[in-house]
Chains A and B, each alone.
Chain A
Amino acid sequence: MKKILIASLMLIAMVSCTKDFESTNQNPNQISDQLLKQDFNLVGSPFSGMLLNLFGGQIEEDLCYDSWMGYMGNPSYFVNNRNNTTYFITWNSYWGRVYGNVMSPSKQVIQLAATNNLPLFATWAKLIRVLSVSKLTAVHGPVIYSNYGATTAQINYDKESDLYNTFFLQLDSIQADFAANKTYSGFAKFDPSYKGSIPAWQKVVNSLRLRLAIRLSKVAPSVAKTQGEKALADPAGLINTNAENFVVSLNGSIMPVAQISLQWNDTRMGAIMESFFVGMKDPRISKFYAPITNPALYADHPTVPYKGIRGGGFNDDKKAQTVFSTCSMDFNNAQTRRAFTASEVAFLKAEAALRGWAGAGVAKTNYENGVKLSFEDWGVGGVDAYLADATSKPADYVNPLNAQNNFKPLSTITVAWNDADNNEVKLEKIITQKYFNTYTNTLEAWVDHRRTGYPKIPSVAKNDSDATWGVIPVGDYIKRMPFINGERTGNTAGVADAVSKMGAGAKDDIATRLWWDTGVATNF
């Protein structure tokens, strides 16, 4: 009996030891907050990832606005060639990227900044949120922002007009924090963009405020003017030189356009860019795209060995079109990508000048400066001759394989500034050059196109829009991306509320205009 007792006790002793359970259940291949406190990595280490996630990848950019705006065209007939590029929504994932990779980690950063008494990191995180969500709202319209982090089942979206006010107020407070801490060096290690320079980030704040103000210039002119002039007047200045450009580190990954075009043998030069660059003799073509060797393919302009694919066109033979121009091989070596350039700022100022905003300077100077900055940034010469060209106009696009994709250019502008032009033509030139410059950072070009109608580009050749996601009439353009399915099913009431905030008759489809897309053809 005694033996039994001893053995029973042993059994119980064996099972009662649960003290290593907690450490057993931790994964040693994950890094703890405790370890991250060393060298003060805890608060700063998520920033490079959040910055990179300002951008999307293939399905967010290449198969959406890169294609719609004619920067790129796809040789692959994804999903039977009925997909986002032909206005039938198949992929819709930028939303998830913003909330999963920017909003959620920045929430933690803001909390950690508070508990670790590093308030400027919270300021910085808030700036990244505005940078990120101001892109997201340009895709969907209303988004979750002020109610972000709510614990209620229904989480309401911000009405766009409210959202922009919130952005501007936050930019005020961010700029005030930065202005009071210009010499702070705490970001240095975590900031691949500016090595922790607060004055550099102040320029981003002002430039962003100007970008958002210009977006609202038609729908809310007085708010736009106030905010634009504030940006132009701020003593910290704007991104005025290429050295001040806001670029984001790729963190060791390959530039998406190079991956898609060169590694996956997929996306190619866009037909619309071919029409503009070939017709207007733009030397940036060689920095954007790669030349091809088969003269039969570019017989329509034998001296310019490039050929693009019509985005949203008729494609049924991938191989035949993969011999068209890829992106430039230079992108294989890219370590960073452009998020906000001095050239874009110059074009924003050019438009602001047309609109008579104080501090914007002269439209012509800004326009020409924008082109010069762009040439400098992309590393091409010949800018003076280019700026003087008053004759070269966009060219016809000829697809050597399928004439269904051919088009005649809608635009007849030239490069040279002419003070005698009316404001619409001037704006068309400004926005068209802004569009050229912003290659690989193309969302704002889609914004400008919806807002101003410029650049004048053809619509998709193959329009597959239908009642599923909303009908885009032939010749018209996609207006927005729908809310994601996860929100439609998981936050149904919130989405319904958001749709109501888009105005009377709005639907959660691709045909409903965003707030600043007024539908008014004239811009002045």
Chain B
Amino acid sequence: MKSMLLVFCSVLCMFSATFAQTRQVTGKVTGSDNQAVASATIKVKGSNAAATTNADGTFSLKAPAGSFVIQVSSLGFAAKEVTIGASQATVNVSLTAQANDLSEVVVTALGIKREKKSLTYASQLVAGDEVTRAASPNFMEGLSGKAAGIDIKVSSSGVGGSTKAVLRGARSLQGTSEALFVIDGVPMVNNKGGQPGSYGGNDRGDGLSSLNPADIESINVLRGANASILYGSQGANGVILITTKKGKAGKTVVNFNSSTVFDQVTGIPDLQFDYGAGGGDKNWSKVKGNYQKDYVKDFFQTGITATNSVNVSGGNNQTTAYFSYSNITAKGNLPTNTYDKNTVTLNQSTKLFNEKVTLSSNVIFANEKSYNRPGAGYYNNPLTGLYVFARERDFAAYKKDYQIFDPARNLYKQNWYSTYEFQNNPYFEVYNNSKLATNNRVIANVKLSYDIAKHLKFETRGNIDYNDVLFDNRYVAGGNSVSVSSNGTWSYTKYKDQSLYTDGIFTYNNNFGDFSVTGLLGASYTKNTFNDGMNVGNGTVALQYPNFFSFANMPYNVIFNQSLNRTIKEGAFASANIGYKEMVFLDVSARNDWASTLALTGNQSYLYPAFGLSAIVSQMVELPEVISYLKVRASHSETGNEVPFNVVNPWNSIGGAGGPSGIGGINRNTQVPFTNLKPEIITSDELGAEIRFLKGRLGLDFTYYNSVSTNQFLSLAAPSGSGYSSYYVNAGKIVNKGFEITIDAEPIRTNDFKWKTNINLSQNKNEIVELIASNPNYQVGGNDEGFASIIKAGGSFNDLYITKFSRNAGGQINLNANGVPVAAATQVKVGNVNPDLIAGWNNNFTYKDFFASVLINGKFGGVAFSKTEAFLDSYGVSQRTADARVNATIPINAISSTGTAVTSIDPALYYSSIGDRNGIMEPYVFSRTNIRLGQLALGYTLKVKNASLPIKDASFSLVGRNLFFFFKEAPFDPEQSMSTGNGMQSNDVFGMPSTRSVGFNIKLTF
């Protein structure tokens, strides 16, 4: 790696060396407040010569002989031209801050840059620094709270785990509703692996962890489908556009960033250690004992995540290049859990043929290896046995001798006192059972841009995203008897994901008097071949020989499955943006898609339009002086969404291995062929306004949206009598409406002290207006071990249904003849697991060379649900049960089976009858509202004045994430999710406890 770096540096030096031209002009660029302006561009008018300022505002320009004019520009400042005399060697340029971001250029769909003022839809830009500030290993975690309208959840599985990002609410019943991620204009594959459920499993990650957060220049969140019509259906859930760092003409810059973050478990359930189990499984002894107390917290270790990254960039006016390498080495909170990641990024851009052609390329290589990533659920989860351990027993002994020799088999088996399948010796689980996940990924693309004529440009891109994925889970013999075979269980999955993308786009830009026209015409082709590989697992069918995990050792009656998910999408699109006097802009666009998944239906080609209008009111009418900028915007768009692979007319499958002398039968496909399948249509309307006050120091962006999703693709269990087992319909109407508010302000701006603040608020209301008109009772989702996340007409996405107590008309809990509370007959809705309001308040302070950043995150409303607590109660290990035992009774408003009022109940009877797997979950539903100190960074920037030192800039900061909660009712952190899939949201079934992270960050610029 080091030698690669050296080679790369020398290449960069060569580029710089070719400019041994006539003379050197140095200088400094400052703002009107005399503060240095970093990253300003200095360009020699009429020439290719250019330079960029350093952090201290200085630059050095290789200039032509004689007098010339330089053009100095920087984001947020008015551009300025300065004439340099023939013999002038230094120049200081003072730029005037622009009162509003009128000329702010943002990257929109397909990597097309547009002036923000011309956009007719909502977008929000977040600088790359923001997402890396608190040293989050995954940039999505760093984005949480910093942009409006995005609900981000992070898997509780720790570093390298998956995230879930939903913009403007969930809408897809079968899909994920997650945003599309786009890197430099090209859609990025973000295939999410399996997620844990009630019975177990572990987070299999997603595609986003392959990115190196330090490579991110900026993130632009296009919240609506409006913004993403040019990506077709993939963009229907909103788009997160990632612009990566590029080399800049001028000096070679080397950045080095190192962070070390310590993660500490903070969310361990409130457990009791005073009452034992009297030799049994459940800790319902009434006699206090003196038992071991610290083994639960001692089980979790301090996680350490060390991130080191270096990037080198530079170039000249023809060619720029950027190289980065990063490494994450992490140790999780769970013993034996590790994660390692290496990424290499290389991009370059070269101008050819008199700068008419620009050829650029970008290659990202990522290698990730995760070992024993924590899971959740009942089976093979160390936390179950850890939490419910019989208190009077010697945990230290079970820790030391987590396995014991079994002379009958001549192998080691688990040492554990309980045979209940949901608990194991936690140390046996982590030491003996291995879960390995690796992936090697390359994302490579080439872009060619050709200025055909003065106003006409052609761009074409090709991208390949290739990922080689392995999941290898090994469970040894002698462990859990329900989930593991007597000779061990092997679950092996290996596949590749490959996405080919290419597009070609003409853009036309011209002004006709008061009118400006930007036109675009293009086509794209995407071929995705996902899950192309195999998986095999022997489950509980014994391997031939114990603990040898090899294909050759598989028993004959195990099926080796091949998997594939293959789609081709072709699109043609056109769009025009017409501006009038730079104050009114009209957007019109249309796209036609052809989708392979709709083959045979006659609906494989589908067209959908979008319109938008924006007006800069502040340029049209005279507004009070306090308002420096006012823009209003409105848009309407439709997006078609294709259906999943292979649902129109699937074939048959092999039913089994067959007996030793026979052949396995064929399972006939019993799905109704769906040859009238149509694409799903999402119609979005959006209204918004951007207002800036006080010369731009205070800004407000408000958006109201209403998106209606129809023709959803629904898989239904066919009626028993229909002759089929399942069928599909296009049905449903799901409405998401809400608002997003972004307020940004600079309340304090003095020479020494600056405070920038940013508030993001959003609210989404989801309504399932209709699923199947002819079947109003139809629902998606059903009872999952005591609760149900149900989607049905009249409700909302992820409504939580649980079993309550059965009560009489007077509200008294019905007891049965044994005095046990009776469960209500049917599960009832107790709320929705999604928050009503999402808020983020981000603050950046600088005082001289000190800086601080404080992020407060809040999610309000909704319910969270803990089956962990239900288990802990029924096992008598929660502190709650110990407290109840002190009084030996729990007050209850109940009525006996013979009709007499009952006012108290025995704690053991009460908790063991309501808790556990499918009990009465009423006491385990909590408000999901939580407000936390999400991020805190305190640092110091050392500006090196001495030019002879190699270091230009150094900064050191202390960072913290999830430091504490200002408010939280649920016994777990609803944002650190056990699953990032559709179900199991705001729910905990023995997921990893939440963590607090603190660490430090060092940044050096050479």
A18 B778 Cβ-Cβ under 8 A: no
Nearest CB to that of A462 among chain B residues? B818
Q: A28-B564, A317-B280 are in contact. Are A489 and B596 (CB under 8 A)?
A: no
Chain B residues within 8 Å of A322, by CB? 419
Nearest CB to that of A51 among chain B residues? B665
What is the total number of residues of chain B having a CB less than 8 Å from a CB of chain A?
A: 97
Judged by a CB distance under 8 angstroms, whether A76 is at the interface is: yes
Taking each of B481, B556, B649, B774, which has the highest tally of chain A beta carbons within 10 Å of its own beta carbon?
B481
Q: A27-B650, A155-B719, A487-B720 are in contact. Are A49 and B655 (CB under 8 A)?
A: yes
Judged by a CB distance under 8 angstroms, whether B668 is at the interface is: yes
| Interface hits, B538-593 → A, CB 8 Å | 540-541, 556-557, 561-564, 566-568, 570-572
A148 B282 Cβ-Cβ under 8 A: no
A318 B723 Cβ-Cβ under 8 A: no
Within 8 Å by CB of A491, from B646, B720, B825, lies B720
Judged by a CB distance under 8 angstroms, whether B659 is at the interface is: yes
Within 8 Å by CB of B659, from A16, A107, A190, A252, lies A252
B665 A47 Cβ-Cβ under 8 A: yes
A32 B651 Cβ-Cβ under 8 A: yes
Judged by a CB distance under 8 angstroms, whether A14 is at the interface is: yes
- Closest chain-A Cβ to B897's Cβ sits at a distance in Å of 10
Chain B residues within 8 Å of A319, by CB? 280-281, 417-420
Chain A residues within 8 Å of B369, by CB? none
- Closest chain-B Cβ to A31's Cβ sits at a distance in Å of 5
A33 B657 Cβ-Cβ under 8 A: no
Taking each of B568, B648, B782, which has the highest tally of chain A beta carbons within 10 Å of its own beta carbon?
B568
Judged by a CB distance under 8 angstroms, whether B607 is at the interface is: no
B720 A36 Cβ-Cβ under 8 A: no
B566 A24 Cβ-Cβ under 8 A: yes
B567 A104 Cβ-Cβ under 8 A: no
Provide the B908-924 mask, 1 if CB < 8 A to any CB of A, else 0: 00001101111100000
B568 A20 Cβ-Cβ under 8 A: yes
Chain A residues within 8 Å of B506, by CB? 4, 7-8
Judged by a CB distance under 8 angstroms, whether B683 is at the interface is: no
Judged by a CB distance under 8 angstroms, whether B300 is at the interface is: no
Judged by a CB distance under 8 angstroms, whether A192 is at the interface is: yes
Cα–Cα distance between A22 and B675 once the two chains are bound (Å): 12
- Closest chain-A Cβ to B793's Cβ sits at a distance in Å of 12
Cα–Cα distance between A486 and B720 once the two chains are bound (Å): 8
Chain B residues within 8 Å of A265, by CB? 419, 421, 481-482
Judged by a CB distance under 8 angstroms, whether A335 is at the interface is: yes
Chain B residues within 8 Å of A38, by CB? none
Nearest CB to that of A317 among chain B residues? B280
Cα–Cα distance between A24 and B527 once the two chains are bound (Å): 10
B572 A15 Cβ-Cβ under 8 A: yes
Provide the B700-723 mask, 1 if CB < 8 A to any CB of A, else 0: 000000000000000001111111
B659 A15 Cβ-Cβ under 8 A: no
What is the total number of residues of chain A having a CB less than 8 Å from a CB of chain B?
A: 93
Judged by a CB distance under 8 angstroms, whether A99 is at the interface is: yes
Chain A residues within 8 Å of B557, by CB? 252-253
- Closest chain-A Cβ to B476's Cβ sits at a distance in Å of 15
Provide the A417-440 mask, 1 if CB < 8 A to any CB of B, else 0: 000000000000000000000000
Cα–Cα distance between A386 and B669 once the two chains are bound (Å): 51
A466 B916 Cβ-Cβ under 8 A: no
Judged by a CB distance under 8 angstroms, whether B874 is at the interface is: yes
A45 B665 Cβ-Cβ under 8 A: yes
Q: A249-B659, A251-B658, A263-B485 are in contact. Are A14 and B504 (CB under 8 A)?
A: yes
Cα–Cα distance between A4 and B521 once the two chains are bound (Å): 11
A80 B918 Cβ-Cβ under 8 A: yes
- Closest chain-B Cβ to A334's Cβ sits at a distance in Å of 10
A-B contacts counted at CB < 8 A amount to: 266
- Closest chain-A Cβ to B670's Cβ sits at a distance in Å of 4
B652 A33 Cβ-Cβ under 8 A: yes
Taking each of A107, A264, A490, which has the highest tally of chain B beta carbons within 10 Å of its own beta carbon?
A490
| Interface hits, A301-323 → B, CB 8 Å | 316-320, 322
Nearest CB to that of A266 among chain B residues? B482
- Closest chain-B Cβ to A454's Cβ sits at a distance in Å of 29
Cα–Cα distance between A259 and B482 once the two chains are bound (Å): 9
B670 A490 Cβ-Cβ under 8 A: no
Judged by a CB distance under 8 angstroms, whether A241 is at the interface is: no
Which of B291-299, B597-605, B626-634, B885-893 faces chain A? B597-605
- Closest chain-B Cβ to A195's Cβ sits at a distance in Å of 10
Judged by a CB distance under 8 angstroms, whether B664 is at the interface is: yes
Taking each of A21, A90, A101, A491, which has the highest tally of chain B beta carbons within 10 Å of its own beta carbon?
A21
Nearest CB to that of A3 among chain B residues? B452
Chain B residues within 8 Å of A47, by CB? 665
Judged by a CB distance under 8 angstroms, whether B46 is at the interface is: no
Cα–Cα distance between A252 and B475 once the two chains are bound (Å): 23
Judged by a CB distance under 8 angstroms, whether B486 is at the interface is: yes
Cα–Cα distance between A148 and B719 once the two chains are bound (Å): 10
Judged by a CB distance under 8 angstroms, whether A10 is at the interface is: yes
Judged by a CB distance under 8 angstroms, whether B939 is at the interface is: no
A29 B777 Cβ-Cβ under 8 A: no
- Closest chain-A Cβ to B343's Cβ sits at a distance in Å of 32
Cα–Cα distance between A95 and B669 once the two chains are bound (Å): 18
Q: A45-B666, A155-B720, A467-B825 are in contact. Are A25 and B596 (CB under 8 A)?
A: yes
Cα–Cα distance between A31 and B925 once the two chains are bound (Å): 47
Judged by a CB distance under 8 angstroms, whether A108 is at the interface is: yes
| Interface hits, A45-92 → B, CB 8 Å | 45-50, 52, 76, 78-80, 90
Cα–Cα distance between A149 and B482 once the two chains are bound (Å): 39
Taking each of A49, A252, A464, A468, which has the highest tally of chain B beta carbons within 10 Å of its own beta carbon?
A252
A263 B452 Cβ-Cβ under 8 A: no
Judged by a CB distance under 8 angstroms, whether A183 is at the interface is: no
Cα–Cα distance between A259 and B485 once the two chains are bound (Å): 10
B572 A12 Cβ-Cβ under 8 A: yes
- Closest chain-A Cβ to B624's Cβ sits at a distance in Å of 48
Cα–Cα distance between A11 and B575 once the two chains are bound (Å): 16
Taking each of B522, B525, B657, B662, which has the highest tally of chain A beta carbons within 10 Å of its own beta carbon?
B662
A30 B421 Cβ-Cβ under 8 A: no
B652 A250 Cβ-Cβ under 8 A: no
- Closest chain-B Cβ to A516's Cβ sits at a distance in Å of 22
Judged by a CB distance under 8 angstroms, whether A26 is at the interface is: yes
Provide the A236-264 mask, 1 if CB < 8 A to any CB of B, else 0: 00000000000001111110000100011
Within 8 Å by CB of B918, from A90, A109, A192, lies A90
B721 A29 Cβ-Cβ under 8 A: no
Chain B residues within 8 Å of A11, by CB? 504, 521-523, 572
Q: A18-B604, A249-B659, A266-B482 are in contact. Are A26 and B646 (CB under 8 A)?
A: yes
Judged by a CB distance under 8 angstroms, whether B660 is at the interface is: yes
B662 A249 Cβ-Cβ under 8 A: yes
Nearest CB to that of A147 among chain B residues? B721
Chain A residues within 8 Å of B608, by CB? none
Provide the A455-494 mask, 1 if CB < 8 A to any CB of B, else 0: 0000000001011100000000000000011110111101
| Interface hits, B381-423 → A, CB 8 Å | 417-421
Within 8 Å by CB of B670, from A33, A105, A467, lies A105
Q: A14-B523, A252-B659, A253-B557 are in contact. Are A7 and B567 (CB under 8 A)?
A: no
B652 A316 Cβ-Cβ under 8 A: no
| Interface hits, B927-977 → A, CB 8 Å | none
Judged by a CB distance under 8 angstroms, whether B194 is at the interface is: no
Judged by a CB distance under 8 angstroms, whether A222 is at the interface is: no
Judged by a CB distance under 8 angstroms, whether B456 is at the interface is: yes
Provide the B456-487 mask, 1 if CB < 8 A to any CB of A, else 0: 10100000000000000000000001100110
B564 A48 Cβ-Cβ under 8 A: no
Judged by a CB distance under 8 angstroms, whether B267 is at the interface is: no
Judged by a CB distance under 8 angstroms, whether B775 is at the interface is: yes
B420 A263 Cβ-Cβ under 8 A: no
Q: Which 6 pairs from chain A and chain B are nearest by CB? A: A252-B557, A155-B721, A48-B665, A30-B651, A45-B666, A49-B665
19 A-B pairs with CB atoms under 8 Å apart are A8-B506, A14-B523, A24-B566, A25-B566, A25-B596, A26-B649, A29-B564, A36-B652, A50-B665, A80-B913, A96-B720, A148-B723, A153-B775, A155-B719, A252-B659, A263-B481, A316-B282, A466-B822, A490-B778
